[in-house]
Amino acid sequence: MQTFADIFGTSPAVSAEAPGRVNLIGEHTDYNGGFVLPTVIPQRTRVELVPRPDANVRVWSANVEGARRLEQFVLGREAVTRTWLDYVQGVTVALRKRGFHLRGADMRIESTVPIGSGLSSSAALEVSVCRALRAAFDLRLDDVELAMAGKWAENEFVGAPTGIMDQMVVSLGRPGAALFLDTRSLALERIPLPPSIELVVIDSGVRHRLVTGEYATRRAQCEEACR
């Protein structure tokens, strides 16, 4: 496993993490303005970062094989690639659209959240990148605004028509508690989980594709039913 210094020749200035999540109650309700009850899981995504003096962003992922481990782009010239890099690019676009000034950066990403498993690996990536950029550039961004920036990145840049649940619980959830969230008002309450129980997540073996899978179809059906 290559360290940050192995890749970029220096030590990271900041590091940030964000967990994956599992939902307990409320399927296909978050993008319909309903209630959800998710909680965070122990698996996490970690971002190490050092700022650069220019507008170049270099991103290395431990979870990608081959030459695509290291990708790069220029701030202000982000372009959709249909790869994992779009989640990072989407975050930088979202933050700049909100008026935040960014410089380039070198990032190393490593995640134990299973990709394509329905455990919000994308939201964990978006929130951890946001947190790292917030720390590196002293951005005045609270945890709800951070979640909204992640949602914008996923909806508008990546093109996945998700609701706000994933980014909200990844940003504001706490171990040992479920997050009761009204996705219409964003009112929330942390509900302690009984310490005597354990949550078990069963892998169905079906890969989760928010952009090209049945998720978009189900959302359109729900919107038509609501109409």
Please state the separation of Cα 2 from the chain's center in Å: 23
Separation of alpha carbons 76 and 90, rounded Å: 11
Annotated catalytic, 166? Answer: yes
180: exposed, middle or buried (C-beta count within 10 Å: 0-12, 13-18, 19+)?
A: middle
| Catalytic-role residue among 86, 138, 166, 203 | 166
Both structure tokens of 171: 């940003």
Let me know: does 146 contact 102? Beta carbons within 8 Å. Answer: no
Q: Identify the residue whose tokens are 């410089």.
A: 103
- Angstrom distance (rounded) from CA 218 to CA 223: 9
Catalytically active residues are: 166
